[in-house]
Amino acid sequence: MDKKNKVLYVIKKLDELFPEVPVPLHHNDPYTLLIAVLLSAQCTDERVNKITPILFEKADNPYEMVKLSIKQIKDIIRPCGLSPMKSKGIYGLSKILIEKHNGMVPDNFTDLENLPSVGHKTAAVVMSQAFDHPAFPVDTHIHRLMYRWGFSNGKNVKQTEKDAKRLFPIEKWNKLHLQIIYYARQYSPARGWNIDKDVISKKIGRKSIINKLI
């Protein structure tokens, strides 16, 4: 099977397995999504979804957030890890949104990536899931599967994103990146990988990896 047909197979199989893909992080608007994505760094979506209702009850917009102290924010988000850095980021970006963007989350990569603690992946998630702008955020799951499937060399996430955008149709990006995440968690985890369950990798994956598991 050549690479073009492998790509078509992946799209078809993911559509069969995950016809609907809800956004994993609970949110109400672009601001609450931005905060949730920031909190998800090195933290599970499940834990973030337990913490954000507590935080958003006190402040679900930048104007209310800056009324809290950084210590108050840090104490609430502590279970998500990296709370000193994340609390400063949340407070700082909220202040900038008020001062420079009328309290609104900008819908472009440049302004998003200029916000404290907002990197390219976080910006891509917001652009994709909040504004429906074609983007292909690459997390550890996508990075892993793109390598296992032989679609990228695994060198770095920047290269993986470039390869994903080159291989997959732009109109599929926003749904597909979520489908791959759901698939990776359920069928192709980093640990405890069962190749018999991972139907996509077993069919199209790198032989050098698959043969070790069979």
Pairwise CA distance, residues 91 & 67, whole Å: 9
The token pair at 143 is: 């990075």
Note whether 124 and 89 are same-domain residues.
yes
Per-residue pLDDT tens over the stretch 137-195: 999 999 999 999 999 998 899 999 999 999 999 999 999 999 999 999 999 999 999 99
Pairwise CA distance, residues 198 & 131, whole Å: 32
Looking at residue 27, its pLDDT comes to: 97
Say if residue 128's pLDDT is above 80: yes
The pTM score is: 0.92
Q: What is the 3-state secondary structure (H, E, C) of the chain?
A: CCHHHHHHHHHHHHHHHCCCCCCCCCCCCHHHHHHHHHHCCCCCHHHHHHHHHHHHHHCCCHHHHCCCCHHHHHHHHHHHCCHHHHHHHHHHHHHHHHHHHCCCCCCCHHHHHCCCCCCHHHHHHHHHHCCCCCCCCCCHHHHHHHHHCCCCCCCCHHHHHHHHHHHCCHHHHHHHHHHHHHHHHHHCCCCCCCCCCCHHHHHHCCHHHHHHHC
End position of a domain, from candidates 99, 129, 159: 129
The token pair at 201 is: 């990798």
Geometric angle at alpha carbon 68, from 65 and 74, rounded to 5°: 95
Per-residue pLDDT tens over the stretch 6-60: 999 999 999 999 999 999 999 999 999 999 999 999 999 999 999 999 999 999 9
Say if residue 5's pLDDT is above 70: yes
Question: Which of 74, 86, 121, 163 is the catalytic position?
Answer: 121
Q: Could you report how far apart the first and last alpha carbons of the chain are, in Å?
A: 20
139 is catalytic: yes
CB–CB of 126/105 below 8 Å? yes
Note whether 118 and 41 are same-domain residues.
yes
Note whether 116 and 143 are same-domain residues.
no
Note whether 173 and 116 are same-domain residues.
no
Note whether 123 and 147 are same-domain residues.
no
Which range marks the domain in which residue 181 is found? 3-21+136-213
CB–CB of 88/70 below 8 Å? yes
Question: Which of 6, 74, 86, 139 is the catalytic position?
Answer: 139
198 is catalytic: no
End position of a domain, from candidates 79, 114, 129: 129
Note whether 37 and 124 are same-domain residues.
yes
Note whether 39 and 124 are same-domain residues.
yes
The total of structural domains in the chain comes to: 2
Note whether 119 and 37 are same-domain residues.
yes
CATH number at residue 42: 1.10.340.30
Note whether 96 and 43 are same-domain residues.
yes
CATH number at residue 209: 1.10.1670.10
End position of a domain, from candidates 79, 96, 129: 129
Note whether 15 and 56 are same-domain residues.
no
CB–CB of 34/130 below 8 Å? yes
Note whether 97 and 159 are same-domain residues.
no
Note whether 111 and 190 are same-domain residues.
no
Per-residue pLDDT tens over the stretch 92-121: 999 999 999 999 999 999 999 999 999 999
